[in-house]
Amino acid sequence: MRVAVLGAGAWGTTVAAVLTHHADVGLWCRRPELAEEIATTGENSRYLPGIPLSPRITPSPDVRTVLRGVSLVVLAVPLQQLRSHLAQWSPVVPDVPVVNLAKGVETATGQFGTEVVQDVLRDRLVLALSGPNLAAEIARGQPAATVVAGEDEGVTRRVAAAFTTPQFHAHAVTDVVGVDVAGAFKNVVALAVGMVEGAGLGANARAAVLTLGLSEMAALGGRLGARPETFLGLAGAGDLVATSTSTLSRNHRVGVALGEGLALADAVGRAGGTAEGVATAPALLRRDADLPFVRDVVAVLAGERSPVDAVSRLLSST
């Protein structure tokens, strides 16, 4: 089996490493120097320093080389860049299942990750992978679980099996909409929970904000046709807790910095990397205006309300 992973950030590289348990993996690197480093040292020192990578990973900056002869394609680029990359890649993407890792809502269209992929790769079967999956822990071999969501149950089971290892357990589900909603919304909740922590508002407020976020996530999912049980599972509550409480989460770190009083640009800079919740929150609100939790987070991001005031409003909304 040969798999292509397009994107060599922390999560893309980690997923490539997971897939080497069952497959040879071609890893597309945007920067040729990163491909050269991985090929010569067996390490991605920028995103996964100190983590040795399997020789079954073949890095390349040439997407055609990476896609040649594969039976599965994994997309590991940030959601706001997904459409532009796919527009370039679509002529050479083979007719095989495509797994999207990006979580969020596209700013320009209000579409979730799998919707963006389906919009560009119209004739491909598109699946989503999501769960409490902090890349650094998985790369170190610590145990984790995730879901692979796809409308074709048989194909989804086979794809989930390709991701499953003794340490990383992938479970097949069919609620693609619910997994997309949960993956996007949890980043917004992580910002809010981080604000609580940064402002020193305590464990009670943190638990209340997390719970209110989960409730609004499930309500939005219900309006879009998702299954309620998805939001109590790995892609819902599981990913929400991990992203909202771990210092490994960039969205959480941005929220903490905002709670401490930093401006948004400074908070993002301190957190490092892409915090999808910053773009996702206003995009979610444009898609569905009946999201008071998201509205208060957007007000903080826009500098219209302090984190303390926003948290107070969130708690009073119960």
Residues annotated catalytic, as ranges: 186
The side-by-side arrangement of strands in the sheet containing 2-6 is 57-60, 24-28, 2-6, 72-75, 98-100, 126-130, 144-149, 168-173
pLDDT at 317: 78
- H or E segment to which residue 175 belongs: none
Residues 248 and 155 in one domain: no
- Write the CATH number for 142: 3.40.50.720
Q: Do 98 and 6 share a domain, yes or no?
A: yes
Q: 164: which 2 tokens?
A: 């499953």
pLDDT digits (tens, 9 = 90+) for 235-272: 999 999 999 999 999 999 999 999 999 999 999 999 88
pLDDT tens column, 98-149: 999 999 999 999 999 999 999 999 989 999 999 999 999 999 999 999 999 9
Residue 39 tokens, joined: 């090929």
pTM: 0.95
Rg (CA), the chain: 19
Q: What mean pLDDT do residues 291-310 have?
A: 97
Residue where a domain stops, chosen among 152, 174, 196: 174
Summarize the confidence of residues 41-46 as an average pLDDT.
97
Whole-number Cα distances in Å, 211 to 13, 184, 207, 231 = 32, 16, 6, 12
Query: 232-242, pLDDT tens digit by residue?
Result: 999 999 999 99
Q: What pLDDT score was predicted for residue 186?
A: 97
Q: Is the dihedral of CA 58, 63, 67, 73 positive or negative?
A: positive
Q: Which 3 state secondary structure label does DSSP give 171?
A: strand
Structural domain range at position 206: 177-316
* Residue percentage of the chain with pLDDT more than 90: 97
The pLDDT of 298-308, averaged and rounded, is 97
- Please check whether residues 165 and 264 belong to one and the same domain: no
pLDDT the model gives residue 318? 61
Distance CA 154, CA 54 (A): 29
CATH number at residue 254: 1.10.1040.10
pLDDT at 167 over 90: yes
Quote the number of domains for the chain: 2
